[in-house]
Amino acid sequence: MIHKNYLVSIIITAHNYAKYLSQCIDSALNQNFENYEIIVVNDGSTDHTKDVLKNYESNNKIRIYHLQGVGLASASNFGIQKSKSKYIIRLDADDYFDENILLLESNILDKRADTGMVYPDYYLINKYGNIIEHIRLPKVNDEIKLFDRSPLAAGAMYRRSCYDAIGGYNEDLRYQEDYDFWLRFIEKFNVYNINLPLMYYRRHNNSMSGNAIPRIKTRRYVKSKFAKQKNNKVNVLGVIPARANDWQRNSLALQMLNGKPVIAYSIEEALKTKGLSRIIVSTDCVKIAEVSRQFGAETPFIRPKNLSLDTVWVEDILRHTTNFLENNENFLPDMVVALPITSPLRKAHHIQEAIDTMILHDTDSVISVFRDTSFHWKPGKYGLKPIIYKKRLLRHDKESFYRENGVVYLYKIQNIKNKLDLGKSVGHIEMLPEESLRIRTLYDFWVIEQMIKQNKVIK
């Protein structure tokens, strides 16, 4: 068969989504646009994907290839390498396009020579195809300047020349290949958002994006790689606040948790963090200071009692610490991170990811969060009314929101000195809910101790 050169190539990657595949391909065929081709890459499917694809083998607009389970990044690269079009757009087999996506997005790239990628808003749908929500993405530069979250990989149209310039998708990654691609893309090229919902993104139990642990770990790895490339030499001060009377009329810092003081968990993980220059415990208690030194932290002062009240903000403690070091040691860090002792499940990689995030995106601050898919209510005229959703949805059907978990707070030193605190640009690291547990009650203490004893803490 002889293939002509098209303006747009749609790359459909398929792995065990046979039940959605026909709708996906049909949406690609039913475009209000003519100058395009479809390349389907079946990546080792074990369901009836091949049977579905047989129905499209005679269509001159479609080329079909079968691989042996090489992964999404490799399958995407394979399909793109088989194309010869000026523009590329990906589509996953469980999603589908609006009929105008090619027309509108290619027109923008045609008219905006300085734009390398255009991406749309989208409809979030459930496994049955019912629309859950219209996801509106913020307008580039007008509404968003911090590109720390990539848009959907599917539905984004970009120039083949840009793809070639950054080397395609990283085939070493089994997850987050789109995030890695996005970071490399925005380093060199401009992007543009069209505020129209032009594709349908399906959320269901089997969707790849729902695999939280490897997704978060890979994202952490990608951030680390890009932060190292920036080669920023920064001094980061770790501060662990601890009070004499903060819990059950005693000091939580000195409570024994599975054989060692609670404060030891924060100190040990801070010491493991390569990005930290110094670790200081800020305390009003001589005994806490003594124990902290035994575990390797510095305690250059005993802080005033007026900084140990319940009304004192953590930023005030950081200001006191950095002012002391500047006045007495002529030491002023570039960044300072607060590590509350109430979070003994915090690991060194959480602290390092916060540092990498600030280096990568040059934010004023970085906080730790977890995804919250709970229902939230507030008092209304007839009792409680939902804050976000107007109807009850299954957990995996809901769009996630981020909830601050109080585990890591990282600030640029200018924000602390100038009392700007979190500042305008706030970056984040995502943690799992089970990593976000904090000691606030005896029950919390017991649960965390059981997790540590039974080795249930995520490595």
Predicted pLDDT at 396:
45
- SS3 at position 277: coil
Mean pLDDT of 358-383: 88
Ranking 101-115, 124-138, 163-177 by mean pLDDT, the lowest is: 124-138
Q: Which domains does the chain have, with CATH numbers?
A: 8-210 (3.90.550.10), 232-453 (3.90.550.10)
pLDDT at 20 over 60: yes
pLDDT at 329 over 90: yes
Query: Which carries the bigger pLDDT value, residue 2 or residue 186?
Result: 186
Nearest to 380 by CA among 372, 369, 390: 390
The DSSP line for 212-254 is HHHHHHHHHHHHHHHHHHHT----EEEEEEE-SSSBTTB-GGG
Q: Are 451 and 432 in contact (CB under 8 A)?
A: no
Query: Cα separations (Å) of 129 from 35, 108, 126, 432?
Result: 28, 29, 5, 28
**How does pLDDT run across 269-314, given as a tens digit for each residue?**
999 999 999 999 999 999 999 999 999 999 999 999 999 888 899 9
Percentage above 90 pLDDT, the chain: 69
Q: Are 254 and 262 in contact (CB under 8 A)?
A: yes
CA dihedral 292, 294, 297, 302 (to 10 degrees): 50
Question: Could you tell me the two tokens for 364?
Answer: 């004023």
- The amino acid at residue 294 is Q
DSSP H helices, 390-441, are: 413-417
**How does pLDDT run across 379-438, given as a tens digit for each residue?**
888 888 877 665 555 444 455 688 999 999 999 999 999 988 899 899 999 999 999 999
**How does pLDDT run across 31-72, given as a tens digit for each residue?**
999 999 999 999 999 999 999 999 999 999 999 999 999 999
Mean pLDDT of 85-110: 96
* Residue the block writes with tokens 């749309």: 120
In angstroms, rounded to a whole number, what is the distance separating the alpha carbons of residues 200 and 367? 31
Predicted pLDDT at 437:
95
Those residues whose C-beta lies under 8 Å from the C-beta of residue 110, and which sit 6 or more positions away, are none
**How does pLDDT run across 54-65, given as a tens digit for each residue?**
999 999 999 999
